[in-house]
Amino acid sequence: MRMVMGSLLVALVCSNAAAAIGQQPSLVDKPAPRFVRSDLNGKRIDLDDFRGRVVLLNFWATWCGPCRVELPAFSSWQNRYGKEGFQVVAVSMDDDVAPVGKTARRLHLNFPIVMGDEQLGIDYGRVLGLPVTYLIGRNGKIAARFAGETDLKQMESKVRELLLEQ
Protein backbone atom coordinates (compact mmCIF):
# COMPACT_ATOMS: atom_id res chain seq x y z
CA MET A 1 0.00 0.00 0.00
CA ARG A 2 2.79 2.36 0.88
CA MET A 3 4.50 1.77 -2.52
CA VAL A 4 1.25 2.48 -4.39
CA MET A 5 0.62 5.71 -2.45
CA GLY A 6 4.20 6.85 -3.05
CA SER A 7 3.90 6.17 -6.78
CA LEU A 8 0.60 8.02 -6.87
CA LEU A 9 2.14 11.00 -5.11
CA VAL A 10 5.07 11.07 -7.54
CA ALA A 11 2.65 10.91 -10.48
CA LEU A 12 0.61 13.80 -9.10
CA VAL A 13 3.69 15.92 -8.43
CA CYS A 14 5.02 15.26 -11.95
CA SER A 15 1.71 16.08 -13.60
CA ASN A 16 1.40 19.28 -11.56
CA ALA A 17 4.97 20.23 -12.44
CA ALA A 18 4.19 19.70 -16.11
CA ALA A 19 1.14 21.93 -15.80
CA ALA A 20 3.15 24.53 -13.91
CA ILE A 21 5.72 24.85 -16.69
CA GLY A 22 2.92 25.67 -19.08
CA GLN A 23 2.44 22.73 -21.39
CA GLN A 24 0.13 23.86 -24.15
CA PRO A 25 -2.85 21.77 -25.19
CA SER A 26 -2.58 19.85 -28.43
CA LEU A 27 -2.95 21.83 -31.65
CA VAL A 28 -4.52 18.84 -33.41
CA ASP A 29 -7.99 19.71 -34.78
CA LYS A 30 -7.25 23.43 -34.42
CA PRO A 31 -6.47 25.90 -37.22
CA ALA A 32 -2.77 25.97 -38.08
CA PRO A 33 -1.19 29.20 -36.84
CA ARG A 34 -0.69 31.51 -39.82
CA PHE A 35 2.69 32.84 -40.77
CA VAL A 36 4.21 34.78 -43.65
CA ARG A 37 7.93 34.42 -44.31
CA SER A 38 10.34 34.65 -47.21
CA ASP A 39 11.83 31.41 -48.47
CA LEU A 40 15.53 30.93 -49.22
CA ASN A 41 14.99 32.43 -52.68
CA GLY A 42 13.19 35.52 -51.34
CA LYS A 43 9.72 34.34 -52.40
CA ARG A 44 6.87 35.26 -50.02
CA ILE A 45 5.42 32.15 -48.37
CA ASP A 46 2.02 32.64 -46.71
CA LEU A 47 0.65 29.49 -45.10
CA ASP A 48 -2.89 30.66 -45.96
CA ASP A 49 -2.01 30.44 -49.67
CA PHE A 50 -1.93 26.64 -49.31
CA ARG A 51 -5.53 26.36 -48.08
CA GLY A 52 -7.20 23.56 -50.05
CA ARG A 53 -3.96 21.56 -50.11
CA VAL A 54 -2.56 19.04 -47.62
CA VAL A 55 0.50 20.66 -46.06
CA LEU A 56 3.38 18.89 -44.39
CA LEU A 57 4.97 21.56 -42.18
CA ASN A 58 8.36 20.38 -40.92
CA PHE A 59 10.46 22.11 -38.26
CA TRP A 60 14.11 21.05 -38.65
CA ALA A 61 17.74 22.15 -38.38
CA THR A 62 20.94 21.35 -40.26
CA TRP A 63 22.57 19.86 -37.14
CA CYS A 64 19.66 17.42 -36.56
CA GLY A 65 20.44 13.88 -37.76
CA PRO A 66 16.84 12.60 -37.97
CA CYS A 67 15.93 15.79 -39.85
CA ARG A 68 18.49 15.07 -42.56
CA VAL A 69 17.01 11.57 -42.91
CA GLU A 70 13.43 12.83 -43.29
CA LEU A 71 13.99 15.72 -45.70
CA PRO A 72 14.82 13.58 -48.79
CA ALA A 73 11.68 11.51 -48.13
CA PHE A 74 9.65 14.72 -48.06
CA SER A 75 11.14 15.71 -51.44
CA SER A 76 10.09 12.34 -52.81
CA TRP A 77 6.57 12.82 -51.46
CA GLN A 78 6.42 16.32 -52.97
CA ASN A 79 7.19 14.76 -56.36
CA ARG A 80 4.76 11.88 -55.87
CA TYR A 81 1.77 13.69 -54.33
CA GLY A 82 2.18 17.33 -55.43
CA LYS A 83 -0.30 17.00 -58.29
CA GLU A 84 -2.86 15.60 -55.83
CA GLY A 85 -2.76 18.76 -53.73
CA PHE A 86 0.18 18.10 -51.41
CA GLN A 87 2.72 20.70 -50.35
CA VAL A 88 5.78 20.46 -48.12
CA VAL A 89 6.94 23.60 -46.31
CA ALA A 90 10.06 23.36 -44.15
CA VAL A 91 10.92 25.70 -41.31
CA SER A 92 14.61 25.77 -40.43
CA MET A 93 15.28 26.58 -36.80
CA ASP A 94 18.94 27.30 -37.54
CA ASP A 95 20.34 30.69 -36.55
CA ASP A 96 22.16 31.26 -39.85
CA VAL A 97 20.74 30.90 -43.36
CA ALA A 98 24.05 29.88 -45.04
CA PRO A 99 24.17 26.25 -43.80
CA VAL A 100 20.45 25.91 -44.53
CA GLY A 101 20.94 26.83 -48.18
CA LYS A 102 23.95 24.52 -48.44
CA THR A 103 21.98 21.60 -46.96
CA ALA A 104 18.98 22.31 -49.21
CA ARG A 105 21.21 22.21 -52.31
CA ARG A 106 23.10 19.10 -51.18
CA LEU A 107 19.85 17.21 -50.49
CA HIS A 108 18.14 18.58 -53.66
CA LEU A 109 15.12 19.77 -51.69
CA ASN A 110 12.21 20.77 -53.92
CA PHE A 111 9.94 22.65 -51.54
CA PRO A 112 9.94 26.06 -49.85
CA ILE A 113 12.20 26.50 -46.83
CA VAL A 114 11.68 29.44 -44.51
CA MET A 115 13.66 30.48 -41.48
CA GLY A 116 11.92 30.03 -38.15
CA ASP A 117 12.42 31.77 -34.85
CA GLU A 118 11.42 31.43 -31.22
CA GLN A 119 7.99 33.02 -31.75
CA LEU A 120 7.05 30.67 -34.59
CA GLY A 121 8.16 27.74 -32.42
CA ILE A 122 5.94 29.01 -29.59
CA ASP A 123 3.00 29.45 -31.98
CA TYR A 124 3.34 25.77 -32.93
CA GLY A 125 3.21 24.40 -29.41
CA ARG A 126 6.65 25.32 -28.13
CA VAL A 127 8.81 23.48 -30.63
CA LEU A 128 11.81 22.53 -28.50
CA GLY A 129 13.17 19.28 -29.92
CA LEU A 130 13.56 18.55 -33.60
CA PRO A 131 12.24 17.37 -35.93
CA VAL A 132 8.60 18.26 -35.42
CA THR A 133 6.17 17.77 -38.30
CA TYR A 134 2.58 18.89 -38.59
CA LEU A 135 0.17 17.60 -41.20
CA ILE A 136 -2.41 20.22 -42.06
CA GLY A 137 -5.61 19.19 -43.81
CA ARG A 138 -7.17 20.95 -46.78
CA ASN A 139 -9.38 22.84 -44.32
CA GLY A 140 -6.36 24.51 -42.67
CA LYS A 141 -6.66 22.51 -39.46
CA ILE A 142 -3.82 20.48 -37.98
CA ALA A 143 -4.60 16.79 -38.49
CA ALA A 144 -1.50 15.23 -36.93
CA ARG A 145 1.75 16.02 -35.12
CA PHE A 146 4.89 13.90 -35.29
CA ALA A 147 7.82 14.67 -32.97
CA GLY A 148 11.33 13.26 -33.03
CA GLU A 149 12.50 10.39 -35.16
CA THR A 150 9.31 9.21 -36.80
CA ASP A 151 8.10 6.16 -38.69
CA LEU A 152 8.00 7.66 -42.18
CA LYS A 153 5.65 4.93 -43.45
CA GLN A 154 3.12 5.88 -40.78
CA MET A 155 3.47 9.56 -41.67
CA GLU A 156 3.10 8.87 -45.41
CA SER A 157 0.01 6.78 -44.69
CA LYS A 158 -1.54 9.77 -42.90
CA VAL A 159 -0.59 12.02 -45.85
CA ARG A 160 -2.39 9.66 -48.26
CA GLU A 161 -5.42 9.52 -45.97
CA LEU A 162 -5.62 13.34 -45.88
CA LEU A 163 -5.26 13.57 -49.66
CA LEU A 164 -8.37 11.42 -50.07
CA GLU A 165 -10.43 13.86 -48.01
CA GLN A 166 -12.12 16.61 -49.98
Looking at domain 26-164, its CATH superfamily turns out to be Glutaredoxin (3.40.30.10)
Spatial separation of the C-alpha atoms in residues 103 and 106, rounded to whole Å: 5
Query: What residues act catalytically?
Result: 64, 67
Q: Where are the domains of the chain?
A: 26-164
Rounded to two decimals, the pTM is 0.85
The predicted-structure confidence for 88-132, as pLDDT tens digits, reads as follows 999 999 999 999 999 999 999 999 999 999 999 999 999 989 999
| Whether 77 contacts 156, CB under 8 Å | yes
Q: How far apart are CA 29 and CA 89, in angstroms?
A: 19
pLDDT for 166 = 77
Cα 139 to Cα 55: distance, rounded to the nearest angstrom: 10
Confidence of residue 140 (pLDDT cuts 50, 70, 90): very high
